[in-house]
Amino acid sequence: MKLILKIFKWIGKFLAGILILLIVSGACYRLFSSKPIPPGKLIDVNGTKLHIRTEGQKNDLPTLVLEAGASGGTDVFYWIVEGLKKNMRVVRYDREGKWYSEASKDSLSSEDYARQLHKLLEKNDEKPPYILVGHSLGGPYNQIFRDLYPNEVKGLVFLDSSHPEQRERLAQTDFSKQEILLKSFSILADMGITGLYYKIINPKVKNTELPKDLQTRRRDRLLYSGKVPRRTLKEVNIIENILLRAGQASSLDSLPVLVFTAAEKYRESQKEKYRNEGIDPEKQVQLWFEMQKELKELSTNGKQFYIDGSHSSIITKKENAEIINKEILLMAESL
């Protein structure tokens, strides 16, 4: 019995030592790792510094404003920007608290985000008219912006965009696992443990659709602290309000609208997950396609295109971006 207790005691000391080593090593990583440098510039908007990047010269064409999804940053639009910056002015930014932007001290309503963007564009001397391009949750954010500033928006582009009713119609109600994952990751990142892990293991970048330096920059910013996953968690908790307000937006009438839908809605792993939960993945896909069609029908001047890609590769794959860019440029020139 004494031998067993002694063994447990030594095991406890060993585990405690490992834990202390991890904490100290993580703290050293945080202390000596360099702070990620924003690729754009920071502009103060009512006390909050927002990250903005601009390419292309101002001309007679409308300015293109890119709005990323819930977890996306400015780099996801790399191929969109590369394909259009020679023809028109292109603006991309990070919403408050995301990636390189500071977090607002006060809680914001769904409309406050649109007002922040409007003020950011003004302070950077950007002038309407605008064409708003939104990927995923960026679509509803743009619907709200257009509802508040209808005279400044001359076109909307939805890139596999979220739909105001998607949570109810797709039964997206349980985000508990996602919240646990984000909270855990943010804690480990703040402790420097995730950064230390990647520093030692140095795993290969899986996504090869974007240039490697952009993938590395994204990873370094993600691992530097728990800021990014915490902000993503915040957005998960306010999605319902964002979608509700977008659904209340006024009719788009004959506003030019482009809807690009990812033909590969779910990968096999996601389909298998749905099957395990007793949900028919094919039915989910059809519902999603129906909602994408409804986005096109928000305007009498809407067009829809199916892109051979997933929710992310619809913009991160160069060939897909080229298809999208061609249609955006045609829209801009027609205006």
The torsion of the CA quartet 157, 161, 164, 169, rounded to 10 degrees, works out to 140
Residue 315 corresponds to which tokens in the numbers above? 């913009």
Asked if the structure places residue 34 within a domain, the reply is no
What pLDDT does 273 receive? 60
Asked if the structure places residue 189 within a domain, the reply is no
Asked if the structure places residue 307 within a domain, the reply is yes
Asked if the structure places residue 329 within a domain, the reply is yes
Asked if the structure places residue 122 within a domain, the reply is yes
Contact 92, 77 (CB under 8 A): yes
pTM, rounded to two decimals? 0.84
- Residue 185 confidence class, pLDDT cut points 50, 70, 90: low
Q: What is the CATH number of the domain that holds 249?
A: 3.40.50.1820
Total domains in the chain come to 1
From 158-167, 202-211, 266-275, the region with the lowest mean pLDDT: 266-275
Contact 126, 91 (CB under 8 A): yes
Whole-angstrom distance, CA of residue 331 vs CA of residue 326: 9
Task: Identify the three-state secondary structure at position 173.
Answer: coil
pLDDT tens per residue across span 39-72: 999 999 989 999 999 999 999 999 999 999 887 8
Answer yes or no: is pLDDT of 27 > 60.
no
Asked if the structure places residue 85 within a domain, the reply is yes
Asked if the structure places residue 153 within a domain, the reply is yes
Q: Which of 2-16, 97-111, 198-212 has the highest mean pLDDT?
A: 97-111
The residue segments making up the domain with residue 254 are 41-176+218-334
pLDDT tens per residue across span 145-167: 999 999 999 999 999 999 998 88
What pLDDT does 207 receive? 62
pLDDT tens per residue across span 303-319: 999 998 888 889 999 99
Asked if the structure places residue 193 within a domain, the reply is no
